[in-house]
Chains A and B, each alone.
Chain A
Amino acid sequence: MQKFWSILFGATMLAALLLFIVAPFVGWWLPKNVATFGGGIDGLYYLILAITGFFFVLTEAILVIALWRFAGQPGKKSVYQHGNHQLEVIWTVVPGVILLVLAIVQIKVWADVKFIKNMPKPDGTTQQMEVLAKQWEWRVRYPSSARMAEWASNPKAAEDFGRNPHLDDIYLPNEIHIWKGDADKDNKVLVHLKTGDVIHSFFLPNLRLKQDALPGKTIPVWFAVTEYNLEADPQSTEAEPRWKEKDIWELACAEFCGTRHSMMRGKLYVHKDKADFLKWLKHAEAEQDRHAPLASR
Chain B
Amino acid sequence: MSVGLPHGAEAHKHPEMSFVRKYIFSSDHKIIGIQFLFSTLIFLVIGGTLAMGVRLQLGWPHADHGWLARLLNWPKSYGDHMPPEFYNMLFSMHATIMIFFVIIPMLAGAFGNFTIPLMVGAPDMAFPKLNMMSYWFMWPAFIIILIGFFVDGGAPANGWTSYPLISSLTMPVGAGFQSPAGAGTGYGQICWLVALLFVGISSMMGSVNYVTTIINLRAPGMTFNRLPLTIWALFITAILQAFALPVLTVALILQLLDKTFNTCFFLPPGMTTVGNWHAGPGGGQTLLWQHLFWFYSHPAVYIMILPAMGMVSDIIATFARKPLFGYKPMYLSLAGIAGLGFIVWGHHMFQSGMDPRLGTGFMIATIMIALPSAVKVFNWLGTTWGANIQFTTAMLFALAFVSLFVIGGLSGIFMAATPVDIAIHDTMFIVAHLHYVLFASSLMGIFAGIYYWFPKMFGRLMNEPLGKIHFVLTFIAGNCTFFPMHITGAALQPRRYSDPLQYKWLESLQGLNIFISISAFVLGAAQLIFLVNFFYSLFWGPKAGRNPWRSNTLEWTAPSPPPHGNYETTPIVYRGPYEYASPESEEDYLPQTENLNGKVAGTQPVHH
Chain A residues within 8 Å of B, Cβ to Cβ: 2, 5, 8-9, 12-13, 15-16, 19-20, 23, 27-31, 40-41, 44-45, 48-49, 51-52, 55-56, 59-60, 62-63, 66-67, 70-73, 76-84, 87-88, 91-92, 95-96, 99-100, 102-103, 106-107, 109-111, 113-115, 134-135, 196-199, 201, 203, 205-206, 208-217, 219, 248, 250, 252-263, 265
Does A258 contact B158, Cβ atoms closer than 8 Å? Answer: yes
Partner of B382 from the list A84, A110, A261, A265 (CB cut-off 8 Å) is: A84
B38 within 8 A of A: no
Partner of B359, one of A9, A51, A99, A110: A110
Min CB gap A35→B, angstroms: 10
Could you tell me if B374 and A216 are in contact, using CB atoms closer than 8 angstroms?
no
CA gap between A17 and B527 in the complex, in Å: 26
- Pull 25 A–B residue pairs with CB atoms less than 8 Å apart, ordered by A: A2-B391, A20-B487, A23-B487, A27-B508, A28-B512, A29-B491, A30-B491, A31-B492, A52-B414, A60-B403, A80-B323, A80-B582, A82-B324, A82-B326, A83-B325, A91-B378, A99-B367, A109-B418, A212-B353, A214-B352, A215-B268, A250-B504, A254-B494, A256-B496, A259-B183
- List A contacts of B363 (CB < 8 A): 103, 106-107, 110
Task: Out of A60, A81, A216, name the residue touching B282 (CB < 8 Å).
Answer: A216
Kindly count the residue-residue contacts between A and B in the assembled complex, taking CB atoms under 8 Å apart: 325
- B371–A70 touching, CB < 8 Å: no
Contact between chains at B388 and A48 (CB < 8 Å): no
Bound-state Cα–Cα, A219 to B165, Å: 17
Name the residue in B422, B580, B588 with the highest tally of chain A Cβ atoms < 10 Å from its Cβ.
Answer: B422
Residues of A within 8 A of B181 (CB): 135, 197-198, 258
Q: Are A262 and B494 in contact (CB under 8 A)?
A: yes
Is the C-beta of B608 less than 8 angstroms from some C-beta in chain A? yes
Q: Would you call B88 and A259 a contact (CB within 8 A)?
A: yes
Evaluate contact between A28 and B491: CB separation under 8 angstroms: yes
Cross-chain contact A111 with B582 (CB below 8 angstroms):
no
With A91-B374, A212-B352 as given contacts, are A110 and B581 in contact (CB-CB < 8 Å)? no
A41–B406 touching, CB < 8 Å: no
- The listed residue (A51, A77, A103) touching B388 by CB distance below 8 A is A77
Flag whether B262 is at the interface (Cβ < 8 A): no
Q: Which B positions have Cβ atoms within 8 angstroms of A?
A: 84-85, 88, 158-159, 163-166, 181-183, 267-271, 274-275, 282, 285-287, 320-329, 351-353, 356-357, 359-360, 363-364, 367-368, 370-371, 374-375, 377-379, 381-382, 384-391, 396, 399-400, 402-403, 406-407, 410-411, 413-414, 417-420, 422-423, 425-427, 472, 475-476, 479, 483-484, 486-488, 490-492, 494, 496-500, 502-505, 508-509, 512, 578, 580-583, 588, 608
Min CB distance, A31 to chain B, in Å? 5
User: Smallest Cβ distance from A185 to chain B, in angstroms?
Assistant: 25
Task: Please state if A110 and B418 are interface contacts (CB–CB under 8 Å).
Answer: yes
Q: A70-B385, A87-B382 are in contact. Are A78 and B502 (CB under 8 A)?
A: no
Residues of B within 8 A of A31 (CB): 491-492, 505
Structural contact, B158 and A19, CB atoms closer than 8 A: no
In the complex, chain A residues whose CB is within 8 Å of the CB of B413: 48, 51-52, 99, 102
* A256-B166 in contact given A78-B321, A80-B583, A83-B327 (Cβ < 8 Å): yes
A19 lies within 8 A of B483 (CB): yes
Instruction: Specify which chain A residues have a CB less than 8 angstroms from the CB of B400 in the assembled complex.
Output: 9
- Residue in contact with B406 in the complex, picked from A15, A56, A205, A216, CB distance below 8 Å: A56
Could you say which of A95, A199, A217, A259 has the most chain B C-beta atoms within 10 Å of its C-beta?
Answer: A259
Q: In whole Å, how far is B71's beta carbon from the nearest beta carbon of chain A?
A: 21
